[in-house]
Amino acid sequence: MGRKILFITTDQQRYDAYGCNGGTVAATPVTDALAAEGIRFERAHCANVICTPARSSMLTGQHPRTHGAIANGVPLPQDAPSVAQVLADAGYRTALIGKVHFEPIADPDNVYPQNQLIARDEHGPYRGFEYVTFAGHGPVGPSHYANWLRENHPDEVDGFLRIFSTIPGGDTGAPGLRAHGVKRENYHTDWIADRVIEWLDSLDDESDWFCWMSFPDPHHPWDLPEGEQHRIDWRTLGLPEGHPGSPNASARSSPRARHTGWPGTTAPCPTSMPHLPTSCRPTSPTTRSARSTPTCTARTNCSTKRSVAFSTTSRLAVGATRPTC
């Protein structure tokens, strides 16, 4: 038997959504079993809160400020390092099946290799992966899955919502919610799993392999197959802590609570950007966060301006005010 690496990712799924991490709503028996039989990393964190930077960090092992894909719409450079290429060079068979998004999806001229492969109905090579099959959030936007669904099940295409749809749906009129007639086996979650199984079955038992199985869900929109609505009755669920109208909602939602890492505060500020004001310095080591996180103090000879700034906690603060000297 060779060495096998199956890298499974979901999209926009919180740490505490899994039962093994305290989740009580979604049933996650497979993940819980993996956690019980393996190692659970309780202090791991995502390198960025949005898609392209975070996924590029997974592929490269670098922070966004290093690999350069700092936002959606900013492509990961073609010469960026790739764990898939490292493993391929070591003799591994490599595949990426599911959502990718290292490059802009909105690319009508097919400038980027990701979309060129889709347009030519080709499956690699791509960034060290010998085989790729891409899927997104339904058939809206370019993907191998979208092409497959339009060709084989055109009657199921129109039920999907656009990714940023605000069309009201469901029992409550919530935006971006719709149950529709796509069969479960044709929905992208099952489709991706089936394609992974097909690729693995094509390999010799002795092969070393690395496969990234990348699910687009539970990212919005929530346009699930009608046959899956029975899984959870929303009427039986309580509201999450801090919901609008709860006692602590105002504190959680105020602008200062969301971001206060600038002059006159003691919240985190950038530590590795070339424009960093020299007034940033560590605070007294009274807490764990203070020992590891510097704070900003305004200098009297500094001016301020509106700008985009990057913090060490990988948040992007657009329009935040920072001192410039």
Which of 41-45, 109-113, 143-147, 318-322 comes out lowest in average pLDDT?
Answer: 318-322
Nearest Cα neighbor of 96 from 34, 3, 10, 7 is 7
Answer yes or no: is 254 within a domain: no
pLDDT at res. 44 = 87
93 within 8 A of 84, measured Cβ to Cβ: no
Residues 301 and 230 placed together within one structural domain of the fold: no
The verdict on 309 and 229 lying in the same domain is no
Residue 276 or 122, more confident = 122
Domain of 200, in residue numbers:
4-45+82-236
Residue 159 counted as domain residue: yes
- Domain containing residue 99: CATH number: 3.40.720.10
Cβ pair 60, 178 in contact under 8 A: no
Is 313 part of a structural domain of the chain?
yes
Same domain, 220 and 125: yes
> Which DSSP state fits 56?
H
Can you tell me the distance from the alpha carbon of 57 to that of 132, in angstroms, rounded to the nearest whole number? 19
* Rounded Cα distance, 145 and 140, in Å: 10
> Does 267 lie in the same domain as 228?
no
Q: 272-318: per-residue pLDDT in tens?
A: 444 444 444 334 433 333 333 333 333 333 332 322 232 233 332 33
Q: Which residues neighbour 136 within 8 Å (Cβ) at sequence distance 6 or greater?
A: 99, 105, 142, 143, 145, 146, 163, 188, 216
Residue 160 inside a domain? The answer is yes
Q: Is 211 exposed, middle or buried, given 0-12, 13-18 or 19+ CB atoms closer than 10 A?
A: buried
**Dist. CA 241–CA 54, nearest whole Å:** 26
Could you tell me if residue 66 is inside a domain?
A: no
Q: Based on the structure, what is the number of domains in the chain?
A: 2
Q: What is the pLDDT of residues 207-255, one digit of tens each?
A: 999 999 999 999 999 999 998 988 888 899 888 777 888 887 765 555 5
Residue-wise pLDDT for 17-48, tens only, equals 999 999 988 889 999 999 999 999 988 889 99
pTM of the model: 0.75
28, 111: one domain: yes
- The two structure tokens encoding residue 214: 């990348």
